[in-house]
Amino acid sequence: MLNIAWHTLRTRLVSFVGTFLALALGAALIAAMGQVLATTVDSPDRAPQRYAAVPYVVVPDEQLRVETWQGEQSRPLAERHGLTAELAARFPGAVVDRIFPAQVASGQDGMGQNKLGGDAVGRPWSASRTAPQRLVEGRAPRTAREIVVSAGARVGDKVSVITRSGTKPYTVVGVTDGPPTVFFTDDQAARLSPRIDALALWTRPSGVPVLTGQERALMDPNREGDERARDNANTIVGIAAGFAVFIAVFVVSSTFAFAVAQRRREFALLRTVGATRRQVRRMVYGEAGFVAVAASALGALAGPYAAGPILDWLVGLGMAPAWLVPSRQTWPAVTAFAVSVVVALAGVSVAARRAGRVHPAEAMREAAIEPRVMTWGRLLVGVGLFTTALISMAMNAVSDPQGATNNKSFMPILMLLVAGVGLLAPIVVRPVARLLAVPLSRLRGAGATLVPAAAATSVRQTAATAAPVLVAVGLAAALLGAAAMTDAAKTAMQAAPVRADYLVLPEGSVGLDRQLVERLRAIREVEIATTAPTSMYTLEGKTALIQRPTEAVDPARFGSMLDIPVTKGSLAQLNDRTIAVSETWELELGESAKLWRADGSEISLKVVALLAPNAPSDSYVTTAHAFSAPVTTAYVKLRPGASARDVESALRRSTQGHNARALTKDAWVSETGDRRGSASRLGLLVVLGIILAYTAISLVNILLMAASDRSAERASLRLLGATRAQVVRYVAGEALLVVAIGVLLAAAVAAISLGGLWSSLVQIAGPIAISVPWPAVGAVIAGCVALAIAAAVAPALRRA
């Protein structure tokens, strides 16, 4: 039977080209994604940047250590202590480095629209040689009012520099290369930031812990950002690879199901001449095996060469560190080959069993009408997948609505729903075809009758052809719609408690400096409340030391600006000896909790409020626990009788020169939503690109298979008097009807999935709209229509 399979494969080359391309693309993607994953996981950390030119660095031990019955637990302190002046005096040849937020003030207009400037750190000039950062223009600073910058200004410019204490005027006397840095004289840097962050030495010190080699990278400012970018790349690559496998199974299954439906008489003839069911199944498996081995080998060999462009794309989207270099490992290619072959054989298994069940008597049939809409096995599996998806959505809505904001939990449910609807599609083909036949009945000619009749007659073939459209349109609508809805829910949750009329926000790591906050408080027409993010450490389960984010607020002013939802207790009781926490802390109202503050000091705080799940922060404390944490938001509320125009003018004057901007609440909500939406769409671009590539190949392949199988039918139409134009219109009408059926099935998938998501989100964010990205969905539908018509009409024009 393998010999027959080989010869059958050669004579039906067109039927297997699309499957070959889909499997080759899948293997190439899996191999490429594997290479990218190997790069992001196995690549060594970036070489030291800040202290690349100095071999030894002495830094303070800034770890919180707590003894538990399982041993010592440690976490990095959010509030740094620095080295003592006595220790620095022991090493007179060392560079005393101080690192603190500093920004060259940018030009602004309107309500704080930033024109120039960027985030930077301040350091003493003596530390410039530790990277090194070399002068490219000008000279070193000599006085307290002279600076050297790496960007944002030129020699001779008079600029203002913003630090935590406020803004002061300086003259730029030099420009360096390297990362954004503002260099002061050593004495001025000491005045601005007394804390000593590191000692850089060229000879090994004794008696103190020292960083050498790759350990020096621990002091680099971009280390946390690099790790986040690694995690983002790993997540995107994993999701893309998962969808590649899912779509490959879908494509191969639909293609071979279509092929088996076409070849029932062929299989019946084989049974008639003595072939057993097992031999027929073996032949179908053999055809799939030949295609899978060849396609998988090609894709596995070619895929690793795409790792570089994919990595560059992720870097361009800000989803991977720019310094990663693609690794050259063999396991991604081997894995891609094995997975693709398994996917092909798994995808053809149902079709092979159906082929083996063909009865010899079917060889005598003249009609092409399918005997049954679907098998009991397909019906049970389809109902099972569909029911599982519905139950999962219901359970999420009842037990964990908060988890709906995580798109990762939505994707598996969506894939179950798509698979279930795809398997059940033959049930709805005839009713949908009859429904769509109603508007067609008003058209002149026999095509209005023939088009829906052909779809209703060949139910399985119609369902197999509509499956790629279901996948493309359904996933595009559901994924983009879900992302928009979760972003809207998060924005609504963040905005709902805000009672303030304006928000003042910083542009950079400096935060809102103390001078600016004082200027804001001096505006008589408004009330001001600020928040500063800090940390608290808890020992959970008496074994795990956890760092939790905390907002430090002024309770006296805070209540009029934010209406924080609570389930128990009241934020009115918040003071220096109390805390408000979310339910994830697993603390009871009135319980005194043993905590550690950002500087490592131990404290006991009483729980006076339990925050609701939709609260904007995990916990709240007073500003007494903020230490040096920067103010990140100032909430502004108009006093009774105050003029909004006068307040806007005062806010504009106050923020001028402080790299901060004042926004109305509505503008802030809109900007927050736009920023979230932009970030969410980046990851979906990768996934949707894979989906559309696969489905385009599958749609074209199945339509070409159908066209080659129905050439005799078109010839009969010509013999009955149909013109070439009428045949082409008939073929195009069939293609459009199949796309319409796929779009309706996709609409059902999108409606059910987005409705289930809405039922969860509405519980935590209040009323939100079910969002459908019509422009994107319309573009996908238009692409399906264009491909379907082109693939159906081209053979008809050639043979009509």
Strands 660-664 and 502-506: antiparallel
How far, in whole angstroms, is CA 332 from its chain's centroid? Answer: 23
User: For the chain, how big is the Rg over CA atoms in Å?
Assistant: 33
Q: Which helix (H) or strand (E) holds 602?
A: strand 602-611
pLDDT of residue 577: 95
Contacts of 714 (CB under 8 A, 6+ apart): 727, 731, 796, 799, 800
Contacts of 7 (CB under 8 A, 6+ apart): none
Q: Which helix (H) or strand (E) holds 702?
A: helix 665-709
3-state secondary structure (DSSP) of residue 777: helix
Separation of alpha carbons 788 and 800, rounded Å? 18
pLDDT of residue 682: 64
3-state secondary structure (DSSP) of residue 512: strand
What's the mean pLDDT in 612-641? Answer: 91
3-state helix, strand, coil in the chain (%, to 5): 55, 20, 25
pLDDT of residue 6: 53
Q: What percent of the chain has pLDDT over 90?
A: 33
3-state secondary structure (DSSP) of residue 377: helix
Which of the pair, 317 or 55, is modelled with greater confidence?
A: 55
Q: Quickly tell me which residue has 């690109």 as its tokens.
A: 689
Partnered with residue 638 across adjacent β-strands are 526
Residue 122 in this model has a pLDDT that exceeds 60: yes
Terminal CA-CA length for the chain: 36
Condensed to tens digits (0 to 9), the pLDDT of residues 295-342 reads 899 999 998 888 888 888 777 777 777 777 777 888 889 988 998 888
Separation of alpha carbons 651 and 664, rounded Å? 11
Separation of alpha carbons 766 and 788, rounded Å? 42
Note if the bond before 773 is cis, omega within 30 degrees. no
| Residue 680: both structure tokens together | 């969410």
Min mean pLDDT across 25-39, 123-137, 157-171 is at 25-39
Residue 114 in this model has a pLDDT that exceeds 60: no
What's the mean pLDDT in 762-785? Answer: 87
Contacts of 249 (CB under 8 A, 6+ apart): 343, 346, 347
Query: Is residue 192 within 8 Å of residue 100, measured between CB atoms?
Result: yes
Burial of 763 (0-12, 13-18, 19+ CB in 10 A): middle
Q: Which helix (H) or strand (E) holds 749?
A: helix 724-765
**DSSP string of 38-102, one letter each residue:** HHHHHSPPPPPSTTTT-SEEE----EEEEEETTEEEEEE-SS---B-HHHHHT-TTSEEE--EE-
pLDDT of residue 713: 63
Separation of alpha carbons 56 and 23, rounded Å? 53
Residue 111 in this model has a pLDDT that exceeds 50: no
Condensed to tens digits (0 to 9), the pLDDT of residues 665-699 reads 999 988 887 776 555 566 677 677 777 877 787 77
pLDDT of residue 619: 95
Condensed to tens digits (0 to 9), the pLDDT of residues 507-531 reads 877 889 999 999 999 999 999 999 9
Contacts of 205 (CB under 8 A, 6+ apart): 56, 58, 91, 94, 199
How far, in whole angstroms, is CA 785 from its chain's centroid? Answer: 29
Q: Which helix (H) or strand (E) holds 567?
A: strand 566-569
What's the mean pLDDT in 474-503? Answer: 88
Largest Cα separation within the chain, whole Å, is: 104
Query: Is residue 167 within 8 Å of residue 158, measured between CB atoms?
Result: no
Degrees (nearest 5) of the Cα angle 123, 124, 126? 125
Q: Quickly tell me which residue has 């798509």 as its tokens.
A: 418
pLDDT of residue 679: 56
Q: Which helix (H) or strand (E) holds 434?
A: helix 407-440
**What b-and-e string marks burial along 273-301, b requiring 16 or more CB atoms within 10 Å of the CB?**
eebeeeebbbbbbbbbbbbbeebbbbbbb
pLDDT of residue 733: 80
Look up residue 8 and give its amino acid.
T
Q: Mean pLDDT of all residues in the chain? A: 82
Backbone angles phi, psi at 596, to 5 degrees: -125, 135
pLDDT of residue 143: 95
Backbone angles phi, psi at 200, to 5 degrees: -105, 125
Most confident range, picked from 29-33, 578-582, 728-732: 578-582
Q: What percent of the chain has pLDDT over 70?
A: 84
Which of the pair, 283 or 394, is modelled with greater confidence?
A: 394
Separation of alpha carbons 123 and 126, rounded Å? 8
pLDDT of residue 677: 59
Q: Cα torsion at 758, 762, 766, 772 (round to 10°)?
A: 0
Residue 449 in this model has a pLDDT that exceeds 70: no
Residue 451 in this model has a pLDDT that exceeds 70: no
Contacts of 586 (CB under 8 A, 6+ apart): 540
Residue 258 in this model has a pLDDT that exceeds 80: no
Min mean pLDDT across 415-424, 443-452, 453-462, 486-495 is at 443-452
* 95 band by pLDDT with thresholds 50, 70 and 90: very high
| Residue 310: both structure tokens together | 């994919």
Which of the pair, 327 or 722, is modelled with greater confidence?
A: 327
Query: Is residue 264 within 8 Å of residue 258, measured between CB atoms?
Result: no
pLDDT of residue 184: 97
HEC letters along 338-405: HHHHHHHHHHHHHHHHHHHCCCHHHHHCCCCCCCCCCCHHHHHHHHHHHHHHHHHHHHHHHHCHHHHH
pLDDT of residue 227: 76
pLDDT of residue 712: 58
Condensed to tens digits (0 to 9), the pLDDT of residues 537-565 reads 998 877 889 999 999 999 888 888 988 98
Query: Is residue 311 within 8 Å of residue 329, measured between CB atoms?
Result: no
Helices 711-719 + 724-765 axis angle, to 10: 130
pLDDT of residue 262: 66
- Please name which of 426, 417, 432 lies closest in space to residue 474, comparing C-alpha atoms: 417
Cβ neighbours around 331 below 10 Å, total: 11
Query: Is residue 730 within 8 Å of residue 450, measured between CB atoms?
Result: yes
| Residue 397: both structure tokens together | 């809505």
pLDDT of residue 8: 59
Residue 381 in this model has a pLDDT that exceeds 70: yes
Query: What contacts 24+ positions apart, CB below 8 Å, involve 583-592?
Result: 583/610, 583/611, 583/613, 584/618, 585/538, 585/548, 585/618, 585/619, 586/540
Give the C-alpha distances (Å, rounded to integers) separating 151 from 115, 159, 186, 513. Answer: 14, 12, 20, 21
Q: Which helix (H) or strand (E) holds 593?
A: strand 592-597
Separation of alpha carbons 179 and 177, rounded Å? 7
* 589 band by pLDDT with thresholds 50, 70 and 90: very high
Burial of 111 (0-12, 13-18, 19+ CB in 10 A): middle
pLDDT of residue 10: 54
Note if the bond before 132 is cis, omega within 30 degrees. yes
